[in-house]
Structure 1
Amino acid sequence: MARVKSKKYTGVYQNKLLNDDISYSINYKDGEGKKNWFSVGKKSEGITEIYAYNKRSEFTNKIRLGEEPPAITRKKKKLIITLDNVANESYELKALHNKNNKLSKRKYEMHVSPALGQKDIKSITVEDIQKLQIQKANGFAPKTVNTIIGELSTVFNHAIDKDIIAINPTSKVKKLKVENARERYLSKIEVNVLIEAIKDDEQAYLFVLLALTTGARVGAIAKLTKRDIDFENKIIKVLDEKNDEKYTAFLYENKLEQLLMIRASKRKLDIPILQENQANLYEQLKDKISKVLNTLFNDGITNPKHRVVIHTLRHTFASHLAINGTPIFIIQKLLNHKDINMTLRYAKLSPDSGRESIERLGF
C-alpha cells in the first residue's frame, strides 16, 4: 500500500502493512535541498505519528545548524550495537557515579548476556524476551525471573537515553505473578527419590546435598572453592550474591563431607569444587539439575506455583527446619535473610501452635 500523508503532522507518512500493522516514515530536505525519506518504525514497536513528527523536527533542527542527524549518521555507518555494548556502557556509567552495581552487572552477565548479549539491540523483540523469561522460569522462582527481566529493562532504558532505540520492548512483557503464600518444597520421600536418581552422578549428587543441607543458591554452590570449606570446624562460607557477602553454613552430612574432602585434595584453592571441565559451571549445574527435577516432579504440572525448580531445594531446606521446630530467627540466620518478613513464610510450618507456651504460663 502506498504511503499516506498525515493530516495532522507535516512530513509524516504512514503505510498500512499486510499484517495490519502500520509503518511510519518521514521526509525532509537535507542541507543541499535534496528530498530524503527515513523509516521511523512500526506501530507494533510503539511508534506513533507524534513520535515520527518529533523525529523529523530533530532532523530538520540538526540540518538547520549544519549538522547531520545522528540517526542518519548511524545508518550510514551501518553500525551494529549489541546489547552487551549498551550494557557495558551503562554499568561503567553507574560506576563513575559511585553506584554499587556489581550485583546488577553480575546478574546481567549470568542470565541475560549468554542469551541476548551479542544480538543487535535494535533487533531484539518482545518474543525474544518472552523466550528468555520462559527459559529462566524453568529454573528460578517468579520473583527472580522478574528481577532478571528488570535488569534487561534497565539496559534498554539506557539505550533510549542514548537515542539508540525508541521503545523499551520489556514494557510489553508481562511480569510473572509472585505468590509467596505457598512455597513448593520436597517431602522426605521426594528427597530420597531425588537422591536415588542422581546418586551415580557425583557432581549432581554433591550439588543436591549441598543445596539441601545449606540452603545455598545455585550460583553460590557453583562458586564454592576449597578455600571456603573448613573441614576441621565443619563450616562452609557461602556467598550470598544478593547481598554480596559470605555467611556461615554447616557441614554435617558424613558422605557429603567425605566426597568434598576427596575433591578438595585434588583442587587448587580457588578452583570451584564442582568444576569438572571447561564448561560454564553455573549453566551446567542449572541445566543438569533442572532436567532431573522436571523428569521426576513436573510431568503434567503447568502451574508455576506447583513446579519443582532448583530454588525449591532452598525452600526444602528452610521448610524442614521449620517443621522440625527450628526458631524462625535461626532459620533467618541460616538463609541469610536481611528481612525477617522473607523468613516468616515458613512460620506456618512450625509444629508449635503456641499451646505449650500457654500451658507453661502457670496462671
Structure 2
Amino acid sequence: MITDARVLRTGFVPREVEHRDAEVTHLTEILAPLTNGEPADTTLLLGPSGVGKTCLAKYTAEQLRQEVLDVEYQYVNCWQNFSEFRTIYRILEGLGKTVDIHRQSTPRDELFERLRQYDGSPCVVILDEVDQLEDKRLLYHLHELSHFSMLLIANRERDLFATAGERLTSRLTGSERVRFDRYSAGELISILNARAKWGLEEGVISDSQLETIADAAGGDARVALSILRTAARQAQRQNLTEITDEVVEAAIPEARVERHEKDLETLTHHQRTLYQIIEEHEAISPSDLYEKYEQRVDDPKTNRTVRNYLSKMDQYDVIEAAGTSRDRTYRSVSESFEHIE
C-alpha cells in the first residue's frame, strides 16, 4: 500500500510546494542577489506550526542551489541545537569544516573563527525554531559575515525578540519578512492528495477521507500528514487493500498521540522539567511553576527565558495555557490522550 514512505513524512520536501506560490516568489526575490555573488538580506519566516515555513525555506534554497552551482545551504534546528556551540558546529559540519574539532574541548571562539575564515561558496543558513537559541548573539555575529545569508524561522516575531539584546533587535528589525497563514481545508486536501499520489498505491484512499483528515487537522499540515501516515500504516498492517473510514477515524487520535510524543522528545532538559511539574498539577500558576522549577534544576534559567519556553510549548500543544497574563495557568494536555490505548 505504501510505495514511498518518505513522501508521507512531515520533513519531506516535495518537488513542488503546494499553495505557497506568493511566499516562494517573495523568498526567491529576497535570495536573488546570491545569483550575482552578493549576500541576501536576513529574512524572518513567521507563522504558526504546520504552515510550510521549513518546507518552503529548504525548497527555495535547493532551487537556488540548482540554479547557482557555487551556492550552499545549511539547515539547523535550534530546538535540538539550542546552544551557540551546537548551532555553529552544525553549520561547520555541513560545510565540512569540523574534521579536527573536538566537541568537548574546542573553545567557542575557535568555532567563530572558523566561520569568519570560511571562504567557500556563499551559504544560506536556515535556522529553524530560532527563538529557541539560548544565546542569540550568534545571530548578530552571523549577520556580520558576508558569506552567510540567514533565513530565520519562528512562530511569532515577539518570541524571537523577547530574549534578543538591543543591538541584535536593531539589526533584525530591518529584516525582510515572509508571513504564513494557516492552510484552508481545501489547501490541505490538495497537499494530502499530492502526497498520497506519490506515496501510496493508486485509489487506496478516497477524496472524502482526505477531507475528513483535513478537517481534523485544523489547518496544520504536520497534523494532517501524521494522520495520513498513521492511517496508511495501520491499513497496511491489517493487510487491507484500501484505507477504510474506520481506519481513518482511528488514526486521528492515534496520530495526535504520536505527534505529542515526538514533540516531547524534542524538549530540552529544562523544558522537560517544566513539563513534568505541569503534569503533576491539575493547573499551576507561572509563579508557582517557576518556584518549583528552581528547586529541581541546578542551573535555572531566568524567568523571562522560562516564559519563552512555555510559550513555545503552548504553541506546539505540548501544554495548554489558559487565562490572561494576570491569571494565567498551565495545564497538561496528556489527559485528552488517556482514553487511547
TM range (shorter): under 0.3
**Which of structures 1 and 2 has the bigger CA Rg?**
1
Using the size of structure 2 for normalisation, the TM-score is 0.25
Q: Which has the higher contact order (CA 8 A, sep 6+)?
A: 2
